Structures are given as structure tokens and as C-alpha cells.
Amino acid sequence: MAWDFSTEPEFQEKLDWVSDFCKNEIEPLDLVFPGAARSREPLQRALVDPLKQQVKDQGLWALFLDEDLGGPGFGQLKLALINEILGRYGSAPSIFGTAAPDTGNMELVAAYGTDEQKDMWLYPLMNQEMRSAYSMTEPQGGSDPDLFVTTAVRDGDEWVINGEKWFTSAGRAADILFVMCKNGIFIVPRETPGVEFMPNSPLAHSHIKYDNVRVPLNHLLGPENAGKVLAQRRLGGGRIHHAMRSIAQCHRAFDMMCERALSREAHGKIIGDHQMVQEAIADSYAQIKMLRLLILETAWVIDNSSTQEARTQIAATKYTAAKVLREVTYRAIHIMGSLGVTNLTPLQAQWANAPTMAVMDGVDEVHKVTVARNVLKQYRPHDGLWPSEYIPAKREKATEKYEALFAKDPEYRDLSEKLIRRAAFIGG
């Protein structure tokens, strides 16, 4: 029976190395040189590149890719165990070559790109020689592809793209934009004429207009009119990866909560001895454990089938992760007190990220609809007036099993009726 919650010693050594490396190398870098991991400035790269090389030397670069594409080929379950460490440190995904949105875009090119497209985009993205953004959401339609209006029209040996995209994460820092149109996903270099970044965009999420943007025919990724299929492939992986990293943030908030509960006194005793604080700790502990098991099971399902087969579980992890992160961080802020609402601990940033988690890659409500619809497909309505668990009907059916016994010895019938009356009296 293959039912095991342990980690093989060889991989545990890798996890231990990742944990020590993040604590001793990445965290100090984040504190002293914030943002350096994604900088292209030579002085900052001189600090970051040697750390990336250490990761590569450990065989941990581009964790999400298979071996034939230059990754370690760990699969989603092992990736989940690593991501729940990386997610605690802001620069860790970049230094391990697993930063969004590049990861999802690389997965798309790896799965659907031609050899020429892999040479143009996949390998440069893997080596962080270029960066990408995913330009999907539209102002009038949100993330619902059925409401999109951005379209690419073929004109000779080019595609002409017209439309408007909102919330293109990391758009201004990208070299290439993965633009989802009504008829497919197209790769657009950021400097292409007609790509217009609108003013008043959020700092990290660009509002972009595409005005007669022309790209060569080979900039269509995958078949024409397959954008929704490609998007589901990309977003499915992205959602589970966000959930994996959210576990680290939940643990971080929980650690701060528990440390504070043992360090602060009120009314003559440490606040950890007060029942409301104990309730916050207990509820947070259970929520984190349940979320982690849901994520690991989902990762296991993906490894043994596909992101499409695991669509229900992925949707459930996505909105559950947002909920748990929001609630655990909220409790931690309250236990921390006034310090928790400042920028002197990570809690405010974590709290601010919780609503983002609930809307990126599709709002929670959409994922809940997906889960409910898929779950209901596994059921059927009951026959007649009464539900299948209606006790009188089930008891009548079960009684038929014992009719021969009752006929042979009526004392058993009397015993049955007596026990049924007693069960009804005590609510059984």
C-alpha cells in the first residue's frame, strides 16, 4: 500500500540545503540589497549571479521543468516541498529560476513551442537573458476569455494585433509579452511599434494598448484558436505554484504569532495563556495543516495524471490558499498588536498580498463555481421524494435481509423493534 508522508533521505538533504541557503544567503541579500535579484544593473548582478550558480551546481535550477528541457524533472510534489521554503523569501524564486510570470510562460513554450520558438524564447528565459509577461486580463472582461475583444488578424506574412490589456504583471520589465487574443496566444516583443503602456497603471501591473501591432507569423504559439486551451495549461500550473508558495507565507505569519504569544505579557501572564490567543493559534495551525495536505495531494494528482485531470483540486487549492493566508495573517497582526500594522515586520505586506492572491489567475468565485460544477458531476439526483439517506426507507430495505431470521425466531423481530424504538428516543 503506497501511502506515505515521509520524504526520502536523498531529497530531504536537498530540502535542508535549500532551507539553509535561503536563510543564510537569500534573506541577508533581500534585507541589505532589496530587489537586487531581478536587477540587470552590473553591480547588483555581481552579487546575485554567484548565488544562482550555487543553485545550478546543486541541480536545482528551473525546478518546474523536465530534465530534457534543462530542469531537474522533480514533478509537482517535490516542487511543492521546495516551494514551501522558497515562498518565505522574496528573491528566492528568481535566484532558483522559478519566478512568475516567467515560469508559466516557459511551460507554455516548452509544451507548445516549435524548436525555433524554443531557441528564440524558452532557453533565453531559462537563462534569464530575457524576461516575459503574460498579457491576458482585459478592462471590460476581466479574465474571462469569452469576453475578450483583443484580436490578431493575418495580413500577409504577419499578424496584426489590436486590443487592450489590463494588469499585465511585470509588463514594463519584460522583453516579450505573451498576449492572449480571441484567436490564440501571440509573442510580442515589448518594443514593437504600437505597444503602448498607459499612464496611471499600477506599479507592477501594466495597462497596455495594442494598436496595429505587427508580429511575424511564427509568433503564434501553438495552433490558431487554441488560446483557451493553452491558457488553462498555463494558469493551472501557475495557480498550484502560487498556492505552494502561500504555505510558506502562512508558516511565516504563524511563527511570528507563536513567538509573540510567548513573549508578551498582559494581565499578569503571557498572552499565550489567554484563551482567545490560544484559539487563534489552534485555528491557524489546523488551517495550515489542512491547506498543506490539499496542496500536496493536488501535486500528487498532477504528477500521476495532468493539470487538466486535477482541475478541480487546483481550483480548490487556489481559493483555499487565499482564504487561509488572509485569516492566519489577520490573526498574527492582532496578536502582534500595533507593531503588526507597521512596515517593521512582514505582516502588513503579507496581509496586503492576500486580496491579490484571491483575484490573480481568476477570482475565487470563479474557482468555487468550477469546483461545485465538477463535484456535482459525480452525483445524481435521488429517486422519489426521499433522499438516499432517509432512515425509514433504508431500514425497511435492510429489514428484508433479516426476514428469514424473523420467521424462524420471532424473538429477534421483537428485539429489533425494541432497539429501533430506543434508538429513536435517544436520537440514534
**Strand 220-221 relative to strand 176-181, pairing:** unpaired
Give the mean pLDDT of 247-255. Answer: 96
Which sequence spans correspond to the domains of the chain? 9-113, 130-221, 228-376, 391-425
Question: pLDDT, tens digit, for every residue of 377-386?
Answer: 999 999 999 9
| DSSP H or E stretch at residue 169 | strand 158-169
Q: How many residues does the chain have?
A: 428
Give pLDDT, residue 235: 67
Instruction: Respond yes or no on whether the N-terminal peptide bond of residue 193 is cis (omega within 30° of 0).
Output: no
Mapped onto helix, strand or coil, the DSSP state of residue 158 is strand
Closest CA to 116 of 28, 16, 216, 27: 216
pLDDT score of 53: 97
What's the confidence (pLDDT) of residue 3? 74
Please say whether the beta carbons of 175 and 105 come within 8 A: no
Q: Is the pLDDT of residue 236 over 90?
A: no
* Cβ proximity of 185 and 150 under 8 Å: no
Which residue from 180, 182, 166 is spatially nearest to 233, judged by alpha carbons?
180
pLDDT interval class at 157 (50, 70, 90): very high
Q: State how far Cα 335 lies from the chain centre.
A: 27
For the ranges 185-189, 296-300, 304-308, the lowest mean pLDDT is seen at 304-308
Neighbours of 164 (CB within 10 A): 17
Which residues are CB-neighbours of 36 under 8 A, at least 6 positions away? Answer: 29, 44, 47, 48, 91
Residues whose CB is less than 8 angstroms from the CB of residue 136 and which lie 6 or more positions away in sequence, other chains included: 143, 165, 168, 178, 180, 231
Q: E-assigned strands of 68-200?
A: 132-135, 151-155, 158-169, 176-181, 184-189, 195-197
Query: Which DSSP category does 131 fall into?
Result: -
Could you tell me which CATH number the domain at 228-376 has? 1.20.140.10
Give the pLDDT confidence score for residue 1 in this predicted structure: 56
Range 154-178 average pLDDT? 95
CATH class of this structure's domain 130-221: mainly beta
pLDDT digits (tens, 9 = 90+) for 289-303: 999 999 999 999 999
Q: What is the pLDDT of residue 221?
A: 96
> Do β-strands 176-181 and 184-189 pair in parallel, antiparallel, or remain unpaired?
antiparallel
Whole-angstrom distance, CA of residue 281 vs CA of residue 366: 30
Which residue, among 175, 167, 178, has the nearest Cα to 204 in the 3D structure?
167
For the cut 70, the answer to whether the pLDDT of residue 6 exceeds it is yes
What architecture does CATH give domain 9-113? Orthogonal Bundle (1.10)
